[in-house]
Amino acid sequence: MDILTPLAVAGQFFVKIAAELILLFIGITFLVGLLQAYIPEERIRRLLAGRRQGAGNIVAAGLGALTPFCSCSTVPILLGLLEVGIPFGACMSFLFASPLLNPVILALLLALVGVVPTVIYAAITFTSAVVIGLILERFGYGRYVRDVVVEGRPKPCECASSHGARIQRAFSFAVNLFRQVFPYLILGVGIGAFICGFVPGDLIIAVAGPENPFAIPAAAVIGIPMYIRAETLIPVSAVLLEKGMGIGAVMALIIGGAGASIPEVTLLAAIFERRLVAAFVATILTVAILAGVLFQVLSVI
């Protein structure tokens, strides 16, 4: 096989997808920065305080979708919510929704896999976040939260009140986050370009195609310990999907990888007892597998 042909395919993919995702990421991140400038952490606490069970979980999952992008960055806010007495179930809904539903992930999914899979993904993860918080609250898992006190925690503030200052903060937020995520984004596009140009589709179908009954649970299990940011994972998943990997396995990989990670579990172990940490990981795994199965079933209807 002529080596120049796959190189050309890989190069074309890299340039096209990298340009699209960089522009999309900057634009969406700036909009999210504006949302966060107008909805600071203290306001999140006030919105959640005093909510009834059920309504509080829905609000918490919705707010989680507007806040941090990385699962690890959700943990400090989670600790702050627990410290001020926000109900445990609502806090858990926030914890599950935040890394799985942020607008950047949804925008990348929309650009790479289309409207219908993105809407289904959003519906599944949002519903799961609400239900998981309710279940863990119902079975009393709140008693497994350690009594942790954070010293030197900054006092909450509403920050700058002028629109100009908030726009400046949103722009700085977008630039700083882009600097952090850019290597991961390029890594994901690079891996996707390599798969696009050099990995035969028949191989991917044989290993993780829709006919393989073990592809979905295997993808979910692999995704959890594999700490790859969703910004890296989604471009790779889009190529795997094009090459013949079942959409169920792709979604299980994304949910497992974005929903839990070794660094996040390590942070949670500092504030949760082992039983709650185990429940968290088992729940992410279960949601990833069930969502993958549902995606696979819907894809053949």
| Buried-exposed string 270-281: b where 16+ CB fall within 10 A, e elsewhere | ebbeeebbebbb
- If you average pLDDT over every residue of the chain, what do you get? 76
- Residue 42 in this model has a pLDDT that exceeds 70: no
The per-residue pLDDT for 275 is 92
* Contacts of residue 59, Cβ cutoff 8 Å, sequence gap at least 6: 47, 48, 51, 90
| φ, ψ at 272 (rounded to 5°) | -115, 145
Q: What are the C-alpha distances in Å from 228 to residues 24, 73, 175?
A: 20, 14, 21
Question: Nearest-CA neighbor of 101 among 117, 132, 124, 122?
Answer: 122
Task: Collect all residues with Cβ–Cβ distance below 8 Å to 216 and sequence separation of at least 6.
Answer: 246, 248, 249, 252, 289, 292, 293, 296
Domain of residue 63, residue span: 4-300
pLDDT of residue 92: 92
- Provide DSSP, 52-79: PTTHHHHHHHHHHTTS-SSHHHHHHHHH
C-alpha 98/C-alpha 132 separation (Å) is 13
Q: What is the pLDDT of residues 119-172, one digit of tens each?
A: 888 998 999 999 999 999 999 999 998 875 544 444 444 444 677 777 887 788
- The answer to whether 204 and 243 are in contact (CB under 8 A) is yes
Cα angle vertex 83, ends 79, 87, to 5°?
90
Helix (H, G, I), strand (E, B) or coil at 4: helix
pLDDT in tens, 220-271: 887 776 555 566 667 777 777 887 888 888 888 888 877 776 667 777 887 8
The predicted pLDDT at position 158 comes to 47
* pTM (2 d.p.): 0.69
Give the HSE-up count for residue 254: Cα atoms under 13 Å, Cβ half-sphere. Answer: 34
∠ at Cα 115 (113, 120), nearest 5°? 90
The answer, yes or no, to whether residue 291 has pLDDT greater than 60, is yes
Cβ–Cβ under 8 Å, residues 40 and 159: yes
The C-alpha atoms of residue 79 and residue 77 are separated, in whole angstroms, by 5
- Tally Cβ neighbours within 10 Å of residue 296: 19
Distance CA 86, CA 94 (A): 11
Q: Give the number of domains in the chain.
A: 1
What is the Cα–Cα distance from 9 to 165, expressed in whole angstroms?
Answer: 45
Q: What confidence score (pLDDT) does residue 182 get?
A: 77
Dihedral sign, Cα of residue 5, residue 240, residue 190, residue 123: positive
**Contact present, 194 and 10 (Cβ < 8 Å):** yes
